[in-house]
Structure 1
Amino acid sequence: MTLSVSWTAAHARRLTRQFLGSPAAGSAPPSISADLARTAGAMLGAHAQVLSAAELSLCLRHAGATRADVRAALWEAGTLTKTYGPRGTVHLLPTAELPLWTGALSALPMGRSPHPEGVRLTGKQTDEVVAAVADALDGACLTADELTEAVVARTGPWAGELTVPAFQGRWPRWRQALHTAAHRGALCFGPNRGRKVTYTRPRGVVPEPGDAALAELVRRYLHAYGPATPQSFAKWLAVSPSWAVSLFGSLGGRIEEVDFEGERAWVAAGDTEFDGGAVDGVWLLPYFDAFGIAAYPRERLFAGAARERALAGGQAGNFPLLLVADAVAGVWHQRRSGRRIAVTVEPLRPLSAGRSRELEGRVRRVGEALEGAAELTVGEVTVGPHA
């Protein structure tokens, strides 16, 4: 008989497994660096296009971590690595899991290049660039300009031609392979040099075989966000839905079908324990928090007015989220001035006295995590998405 799973039960399990229902226990250094890596692994990476958002995502899942602890885990202890992860976007990933991630991400089907013939890299040129990047960054930490010089010296002038449209001009051709180099384990981010981004090579990373890595990534995705469909997995990775359907079909007895609110969905084989109790609580999730991006079906999480207010063109992550019980219930924004952090929360419906007290506690935790003093205002958030 097929197991039936309710939205409430799935949501409750996801919260628990993401350390939102019960934050990871506080530890003293150096254990806290290991705790933060474990938390990042449970989330399947913390989105770090804006590093401060990733810092807050991790801290809010831990009983006492601060942004300084995340930075120490990243740049001192080395338990976290900043690199290109799911969807080709910057993430903080557990360093110990890089063989899995590079194996899986490098095995994903390549999308169609947006660059015209004569500009886009051939397969051979891509391989040459990745090899050059790996060699140049072995034991080194280089800015983008320095890496360009090193890549051109190892490949040829064609790699340095300014052909790739960028924010304020054009980037050299080799940068088409930047994400690919990261996915193959040849590149990750180093600490900034002043205001300049740097790159380095992660030490000792050998990508796992693609098929095994993809199977394990599906298992971990289903553990964190299941029940889920191939289509939601495809959206999370930004790959073809048909390819994801084929991948799920190839896993046989390693995944198990369930009925999720009347629809077919999957969990990892044997991972069928759900607590049917009601979800209760208030949470604040920062920009591009993994929970808001990867939890499907989106119409359940962003129900009613939340669909219009908390999504930007149907895309999750552009607004920080107020989560109440089992659905998004508003948006929020923070503005910092010295140690003072002004937090404005816009609920989509009035909060009870109990909910308000819980929200005040969540706001205090934001202040602690960011090493400041947070002050709550309940009212309209007047800034736009990703402000």
Structure 2
Amino acid sequence: MSHLAAKILFVASSAAFPARLWARRFATHHLARRPRARLAAVARHAVGLQAQDVGAVRLSARARSSSLTLPVVRREKTVVRTWLMRGTLHLVAVEDVRWLLSLFGDRNIRAGARRRSDLGLDDRTCARALDVLPDVLRGRSLSRAEIVAELARRRVRIDPAGQAPAHLMAYAASSAVICRGPDLDGDEPGYVLLDEWAPAAAPSADEALALLARRYLTAFGPAAPEDLAAWSGLPLGDARKAWSAVGADLVDDRGGLSLLPGTSQPVDGPVLRLLPAYDTYLLGYRQRPVPAAYAKRIQAGGGVLHPSVVVDGRIGGRWKLTRSKKGVTVGVEPFGTALDGLGDLLEAEVADLGRFLGEPASLV
């Protein structure tokens, strides 16, 4: 997890957040009734899918689209990955990256300044790297190691063995110079020039803030400004300002929460979904829909967020995917009786996981 994400405190859900609310949010995320949607549409609806784990973000996309397959996701060129909300890597539609960077780029650069200094990435080195990266990457995609080697040839030298290269990539991405495009062979991240992938236009700061609140509510509502602040990493004052900009269109929900007209309604349940580690649904609010007794089974500490079995919006267990020469197996650890009587739904979800991956999948 990022330096910013670690500062966000998420807690288990309480009685003040009833089943009805989580079922509504589950539907708003397109997790209850999945559309047939391409990857860019999935990313656009979610504002961004958390993407520091490439395997996990692909499974997040599967959970929100009934038609995606892994080969299609791997070669998709209408999305990019860059460091945005909470300083964390997100997968976003190319048309969204500029306005999101206008909100989070400078903030993330400031937040990472001390760590860059500790790694020997002084302002002069970073500025020189930004100057030569367009020449290094023009018309092609390179791995991080290849970029470091090309920078060295241009007399911009950083330690290739430590964390400096990763922090330099994040700095250049937050400076709107590079982003991550399609992965290279072996799922190695490939870096490209942002100007070659994303439109250059971006709205004003106030317009971007209002757009963030509107898009967040479309994908995450019902919610409150405190939820927007927790998900985005923005100060609460900025989140409230964003909320006010959308105020005329807000519909009051119970418990002081708001939503936008026309958002998805809960379906007749139960609906079960296997969500991967670091799924955006579980990072989108101040609280998580998990009983306090099981909270540490999902977030054990150290920034780790385990894959979860979610039923009608609330966490009922966790799961683990294991690969072998024979295919994929899925093991499930229920939380109490939350998954009792849902064996058929689990089997169907595991089968869909296999469909997405293109290999046999079974529940063990």
Higher relative contact order structure (alpha carbons within 8 Å, sequence separation ≥ 6):
2
Give the root-mean-square deviation of aligned CA atoms.
3.3
Give the TM-score normalised by the residue count of structure 1: 0.76
SS of residue paired to 2:176 = coil
Q: Does the 8 Å contact 2:27/2:264 carry over to 1?
A: no
SS of residue paired to 2:277 = coil
Residue of structure 1 aligned with 2:238, choices 243, 246, 249 = 246
Other-structure match for 1:215: 210
Other-structure match for 1:160: 157
Q: 1:360 to 1:107 in 2, by over 3 A?
A: same
Residue of structure 1 aligned with 2:331, choices 307, 323, 344 = 344
Shift of 1:128: 4.0
SS of residue paired to 1:234 = helix
Question: Could you tell me which amino acid in structure 2 is paired with residue 13 of structure 1?
Answer: R
Deviations for 1:276-302, whole angstroms, at most 9, x for unmatched residues? 88763222111111112224422xx01
Q: Does the 8 Å contact 2:26/2:32 carry over to 1?
A: yes
Question: Could you tell me which amino acid in structure 2 is paired with residue 179 of structure 1?
Answer: A
Distance (Å, rounded) in 2 between the aligned partners of 1:123 and 1:309: 42
Other-structure match for 2:92: 93
Q: Does the 8 Å contact 1:236/1:294 carry over to 2?
A: yes
Q: Does the 8 Å contact 1:60/1:369 carry over to 2?
A: no
Q: Matched residues, percent identical?
A: 24
Distance (Å, rounded) in 1 between the aligned partners of 2:313 and 2:118: 51
Residue of structure 2 aligned with 1:21, choices 28, 32, 54 = 32
Q: Does the 8 Å contact 1:130/1:177 carry over to 2?
A: no
Higher helix share: 2
Distance (Å, rounded) in 1 between the aligned partners of 2:118 and 2:313: 51
Other-structure match for 1:380: none
Q: Does the 8 Å contact 1:103/1:183 carry over to 2?
A: no
Structural mapping, 1:165-244, within 5 Å = 169-172=161-164, 176-190=167-181, 191-193=183-185, 197-202=189-194, 203=196, 205=198, 206=200, 208-209=202-203, 211=205, 212-239=207-234, 243-244=235-236
Distance (Å, rounded) in 2 between the aligned partners of 1:362 and 1:348: 18
Distance (Å, rounded) in 2 between the aligned partners of 1:266 and 1:107: 29
Residue of structure 2 aligned with 1:332, choices 282, 307, 319 = 319
Distance (Å, rounded) in 2 between the aligned partners of 1:116 and 1:98: 23
Ranges in structure 1 where 5+ consecutive residues have no aligned partner: 26-31, 378-387
How many residues are paired up? 343
SS of residue paired to 2:114 = coil
After superposing the two structures, state which structure 1 stretch, 202-211 or 327-336, moved more: 202-211
Ranges in structure 2 where 5+ consecutive residues have no aligned partner: 1-15
Q: Does the 8 Å contact 1:24/1:63 carry over to 2?
A: yes
Shift of 1:222: 2.2
Other-structure match for 1:281: 271
Q: 1:375 to 1:8 in 2, by over 3 A?
A: same
Shift of 1:113: 2.8
Deviations for 1:113-155, whole angstroms, at most 9, x for unmatched residues? 334868665556544433332342221222323322444565x
SS of residue paired to 2:27 = helix
Higher strand share: 1
Q: Does the 8 Å contact 1:306/1:329 carry over to 2?
A: no
Q: Does the 8 Å contact 1:79/1:94 carry over to 2?
A: yes
Other-structure match for 1:313: 301
Other-structure match for 2:346: 359
Other-structure match for 2:132: 132
